[in-house]
Amino acid sequence: MTMVYTTCTRDCPDTCAVIAHVEGGRVVKLAGDAVHPITRGFLCKKTYQYPARVYSANRIGHPLKRTKSGWRRITWNEAFDTLAERLTRLRAKDGTLAVLHYQSAGSMGLLKALNQRFFNLWGGVTEAGGSLCSGAGVAGQLKSYGAVRRHAPQDLLHSRTILLWGRNPIVTNIHMVPFLKAARERGATVVVIDPRRSETVKYADQHLPIKPGGDAYLAIGLAQALLRQGLVDWPFVRSTTVNAAEYEQVLARVEPQTIVDRTGLPTEAIDALARLYGTQKPGSIHLGMGPQRWRAGAEVFQYIDALAALTGNLGVPGGGVNYSSRLPSLLDLSWLAEGRAHTRRFVLRASIGRDLLESGDPPIRLAWICGANPVTQALNSDLIRRALAQLECVVVSDISLTDTAQAAHLFLPTTTFLEEEDLVVAEWWHSYLGYVRPVIAPYGEARSDLAIFQGLAERLGFGAEMAGTPGEWISRLIAPMQGYGITLERLRADGWVQHPLAEDVPFADGRFFTPSGKFEFITKGLESFDPPVAYPLYMITAKTNTRLNSQVLDQERERLPRAWVHPEVLANVGVTDGADAVVESPYGSMRVRVQADAQQRRDTVFTEQGSWLSAGGTPNQLTGNVISNRGSLGAYNQVSVRLARGHSDASEACPKGAGLSGPARISSPLP
């Protein structure tokens, strides 16, 4: 048995240092590296189970082409010939904008950015931009601070009050938990603010089950209480912020009863939390994705940011409003060759179904989808399926036939992170770059994205411009880091290295990156969202500890999505615990298996992210094309639903492909 040190490239803030145990050329076990300052010897359940994904019976190890009689195995030569001929014909007839490149966070490897280089060298295509996860919150924090920065994970130990606001680290950021436990042992009070009684609540001192969409109102209520209780740090506000007077006017216009109605929380609870945060200092706020998944998501974050400014919990150890981080890039992004694109156009990732149907002149005729499964992860799944079914050609690269791949004409098998050399430079939560070392040989004939685009570039006549080993490309892209002593050789030797510009406490000098150089309070009023009478329930979709987005294990592909509902709601619609039911919205419906949960709110259906249509349903069958005011994020929470009795008995196994009925299920063969 050999042990190979690598880095997890999955869409997760923890960026773990992984030790792969290899026997006979196969990975038999994954473990966390105990020496890494954040990984500390353990991984999450999702990645402990990852070898089952690598060797899944559903994994595809060779290219496929759709024919009249179904999928046909083809060679890479045939795949490249087909693609080169089709791309060349399309460019001559409609121009390069008739091609859509849709890429998302299937892997956070740096070399995935070179996919864009390919399309830019080819002339520039329609690119999918915007956000499926964090964009509105980022836009909000850019307004408040002029930058998106968070404290180092270890700085949590300095906090005496910790607000986990819409964040569920047990599931989405598990390496935060040891810091959380240590902070509590040192006397910190931990409060979870979440509509759902999440898995993290058991590690907290208090849970505030806020009404969905009430986050900005809670922030306003807390600000009003801080003012009432004389807990505002006026010297800090006067010296370090702007717009305080206008912000106070906004606060004054919101009635106390509105706060209670919108948050579903009693005034006493809000007053007590304000007292805690305003007196037991320093206090840190840790935001998750949920509070910004609304049309006004950016403004929600600005209202929450304001609490730290009011109390002077900014720029001090143990403080901050921690969400994500965007340090200045130390990458040579000229390698993406944007200057070589003669033309480019953008559509939104989140509303890709609508945007495909309305792509304009030229209409999109070919979609190339990699590192992404928009049919389950973007808004309005059924519309996306219809839009993909109308295209002349859909190319999907993935490791198995996802819901999106079911709509493809060509399927290209890709490698997993255990089969690639790459680098992860994500620093949303910690600041360690991680070297991705190839652990095993590629599965079957699978190729990395880089190898796929290199092969196709050869056919299209610009192979020399895509040429290079993964190591050579890493070196080219990180060349600006050489001045800080970071080279490929060092990464290969050490496995990880801290980002040279990492900081423990942002804004410690009292300077911000806004136009004023100060913290800028929000001065805009709020919009609200109320479910209509016909669809009286909110829907909150949470991540689970066995799936990463739609990356699921085989056994999860086969089961209906679960929905957790208060027993009173079930009784009202005549559904029993454990039965199948249907969740309906104005946009579609989804089959679920319900679980009665008396600890959850009565006005909300809680369901799980990432379930597949082929398992019976996915929550994005229920979402419409609502995009955040700023940040181009899909407003996934801005949907109302109702629960109805299902058509099948609880004991009935989910029929395979039950959610894929209808004309969009099977694409026509490649014309």
Least gap, CB of 418 to ligand SF4 (angstroms):
12
Among residues 55 and 346, whose Cβ is nearest to ligand SF4?
55
* H-type alpha helices, 9-102: 45-48, 50-54, 76-94
Q: Two tokens at 288? A: 């998750």
Least gap, CB of 20 to ligand SF4 (angstroms):
12
Cβ 476 vs Cβ 332: under 8 Å: yes
Among the listed residues 6, 16, 163, 309, the single contact to ligand SF4 using CB under 6 A = 16
Give the Å distances, CA to CA, from 236 to 219, 228, 314.
19, 18, 9
From residue 378 to residue 417, the character string flagging contacts with ligand SF4 as x (rule: CB under 6 A) and all else as - is: ----------------------------------------
Query: What is the number of other CB atoms lying within 10 angstroms of the CB of residue 354?
Result: 20
Among residues 11 and 458, whose Cβ is nearest to ligand SF4?
11
**Interface segment toward ligand SF4; rule CB under 6 A; list 43-51, 309-317, 517-525, 555-563:** 43-51
Give kind and range of the element (H or E) at residue 442.
none
* Residue 44 in contact with ligand SF4, rule: CB under 6 A: yes
* Residue 174 in contact with ligand SF4, rule: CB under 6 A: yes
Chain centre distance of CA 460:
34
* Residue 626 in contact with ligand SF4, rule: CB under 6 A: no
Among residues 173 and 638, whose Cβ is nearest to ligand SF4?
173
* Residue 47 in contact with ligand SF4, rule: CB under 6 A: yes
Q: Rule CB under 6 A: which of 530-559 touch ligand SF4?
A: 548
Among residues 169 and 631, whose Cβ is nearest to ligand SF4?
169
Among residues 10 and 286, whose Cβ is nearest to ligand SF4?
10
**Interface segment toward ligand SF4; rule CB under 6 A; list 44-52, 96-104, 306-314, 469-477:** 44-52
Cβ neighbourhood burial of 234 (10 Å; 0-12, 13-18, 19+): exposed
Q: Rule CB under 6 A: which of 335-364 touch ligand SF4?
A: none
Cβ 402 vs Cβ 396: under 8 Å: yes
* Residue 609 in contact with ligand SF4, rule: CB under 6 A: no
**Interface segment toward ligand SF4; rule CB under 6 A; list 5-13, 66-74, 305-313, 456-464:** 5-13
**Interface segment toward ligand SF4; rule CB under 6 A; list 10-18, 78-86, 284-292, 594-602:** 10-18
Least gap, CB of 174 to ligand SF4 (angstroms):
5
Sequence letter at residue 343: T
Supply the DSSP string of 132-199, one letter for each residue: SSSHHHHHHHHHHHSS-----GGGGGG-SEEEEES--HHHH-GGGHHHHHHHHHTT-EEEEE-SS--G
> Which three-class secondary structure state does DSSP give residue 325?
coil
Least gap, CB of 46 to ligand SF4 (angstroms):
5
Among the listed residues 6, 15, 107, 541, the single contact to ligand SF4 using CB under 6 A = 15
Beta-strand ranges (E) seen in 499-634 are: 519-520, 537-542, 562-565, 580-585, 588-596, 604-608
**Distance between CA atoms of residues 495 and 475, nearest Å:** 15
Among the listed residues 19, 31, 38, 46, the single contact to ligand SF4 using CB under 6 A = 46
* Residue 167 in contact with ligand SF4, rule: CB under 6 A: no
Query: What is the number of other CB atoms lying within 10 angstroms of the CB of residue 95?
Result: 16
Least gap, CB of 324 to ligand SF4 (angstroms):
15
| Closest among 173, 220, 190, 153 to 283, alpha carbons compared | 190
Query: What is the number of other CB atoms lying within 10 angstroms of the CB of residue 118?
Result: 24
Least gap, CB of 15 to ligand SF4 (angstroms):
5
Among residues 210 and 289, whose Cβ is nearest to ligand SF4?
289
Among residues 44 and 225, whose Cβ is nearest to ligand SF4?
44
Site residue total, ligand SF4 (CB under 6 A): 12
Among residues 293 and 547, whose Cβ is nearest to ligand SF4?
547
* Residue 180 in contact with ligand SF4, rule: CB under 6 A: no
Cβ 125 vs Cβ 99: under 8 Å: yes
* Residue 10 in contact with ligand SF4, rule: CB under 6 A: yes
Among residues 43 and 136, whose Cβ is nearest to ligand SF4?
43
**Interface segment toward ligand SF4; rule CB under 6 A; list 40-48, 55-63, 323-331, 661-669:** 40-48
**Distance between CA atoms of residues 549 and 561, nearest Å:** 13
Cβ neighbours for 280, distance < 8 A, ≥ 6 positions apart: 160, 161, 189
**Distance between CA atoms of residues 369 and 397, nearest Å:** 7
**Distance between CA atoms of residues 536 and 531, nearest Å:** 5
Among residues 15 and 103, whose Cβ is nearest to ligand SF4?
15
| Closest among 542, 646, 639 to 172, alpha carbons compared | 542
| Closest among 651, 654, 664, 656 to 621, alpha carbons compared | 664
Cβ 313 vs Cβ 232: under 8 Å: no
Least gap, CB of 213 to ligand SF4 (angstroms):
28
Among the listed residues 5, 6, 8, 398, the single contact to ligand SF4 using CB under 6 A = 8
Cβ neighbours for 68, distance < 8 A, ≥ 6 positions apart: 669
Least gap, CB of 108 to ligand SF4 (angstroms):
9
* H-type alpha helices, 574-652: none
**Distance between CA atoms of residues 291 and 131, nearest Å:** 15
Among the listed residues 43, 136, 191, 388, the single contact to ligand SF4 using CB under 6 A = 43
Bridge partners, 498 (sequence order):
432
Least gap, CB of 287 to ligand SF4 (angstroms):
18
Among residues 417 and 507, whose Cβ is nearest to ligand SF4?
417
Supply the DSSP string of 28-42, one letter for each residue: EEEEE-TTSTTTTT-
* Residue 12 in contact with ligand SF4, rule: CB under 6 A: yes
* Residue 422 in contact with ligand SF4, rule: CB under 6 A: no
Cβ neighbours for 70, distance < 8 A, ≥ 6 positions apart: none
Interface residues toward ligand SF4, by CB under 6 A: 8, 10, 12, 14-16, 43-44, 46-47, 174, 548
